[in-house]
Amino acid sequence: MMDCKKLISLSLLLIFGCTQPSTVVVTQGFALGTSYSIKVESQHWTAEAIEAKLDSLFYIANKSMSTYIPQSDISKINQGMTDVIVDEHFRAVFDKATEVWEATDGLFDPTVGSLVNAYGFGPEAGFANLSQAQIDSLLDFTGWQNLELTPKGNLIKKDLRTYLDFNALAKGYTIDMIGRYFESQQINNYLIEVGGELRAKGQNPTTQKTWRIAIDHPNQEQGRNLIRSLPLSNQSLATSGNYRKFRIDPRTGEKYVHSINPKLGLPVQSSILSASVLAPDCMTADAWATALMVMPLEQGQQLIAQHSDLEAYWIVAKGDQLLEYFSVGWPKE
């Protein structure tokens, strides 16, 4: 489940204290095609025990939704198998995708994967400068409205060529799974970071204050610079960006970013460098951060304002300047 759709352009720096009491457990590793770092307060858990549980949760997510594992449920569905019965995790992600697809009038669409792959942003290597005829052909079997998930758990596709990709939700969902497990074990102070996306609960046990994170400045040529920090507690944060994730056509030199408009089948040409979303759960934040990169700033601002449980922060390029835009409830530093 590698994050080719967005290797977070604005990597998020976890701000920890310098000393750690014995009840603080920190574990780091590599999963889902990216790195993770988790900090929890617990009297009973060791890093080894946490890592063993993480391995099992990552396995569950990959088996259900990884497009990089040929035997996963989603890969079998993409291969045209019609007898796959999906699990509860697939269903939860499918339902969230439907919710955000409807809220964004189709601009968020996990069936855009065929176009993503064709442009060279997915698991298949290579780059293609697609003609309009090729784009139209791919659009024939692109569209969330062409899918139905039955109560039994069988995914029905109107066209077997439709390619499903949950990369805009699955990492966030996995983070939520980890968080829910911690809470079931009475771990009430934790910070989970996977590939730059975060879920936090309680406070930093080292500082006895609310967790704080920082967002990198887009320009890192002169070393690591931070553009903004914010508190994070009992919320999740996801960031999507396109200022690093792009391909250059070797013949024309034209830049193609990794956000694809699922209605037009075209890479989005946008001055928005990144969008960060705060939400009650990480899957929702993940999906909305992706969606905001596909639509104009004004449309994104209007949609976020209509959802009281969401806040957003945009970084926009204007000439040599970077402009910052915030939703009304975005937390102050």
The answer to whether residue 2 sits within a structural domain is no
Distance CA 264, CA 277 (A): 25
Q: What single-letter DSSP state applies at residue 110?
A: G
pLDDT of res. 63 = 97
283 located within any domain: yes
CB 2 within 8 A of CB 69: no
- Phi/psi at 243 (5° precision): -75, -15
Q: What is the pLDDT of residue 6?
A: 38
Is residue 167, in this structure, part of any structural domain at all?
yes
pLDDT at 223: 57
Domain of 114 in residue numbering reads as: 12-326
Could you tell me the pTM of the whole model? 0.87
In the three-class reduction of DSSP (H, G, I as helix; E, B as strand; rest coil), residue 288 is classed as: helix
In a domain, 194, yes or no: yes
Q: How far is CA 68 from CA 3, 64, 186, in A?
A: 10, 11, 34
- Decide if 1 is inside a domain: no
Residue 333 lies in a domain: no
d(CA 141, CA 144): 9
The count of domains in the chain is: 1
Q: For residue 280, what is the domain's CATH number? A: 3.10.520.10
Residue 308: inside a domain: yes
Query: Is residue 109 in some structural domain?
Result: yes
Q: What's the distance, Cα to Cα, between the start and end of the chain in Å? A: 33
C-alpha pair distances (Å), 236 with each of 27, 95, 186, 246, 274: 19, 19, 19, 26, 17
What pLDDT sits at residue 128?
64
List of the chain residues with pLDDT < 50: 1-22
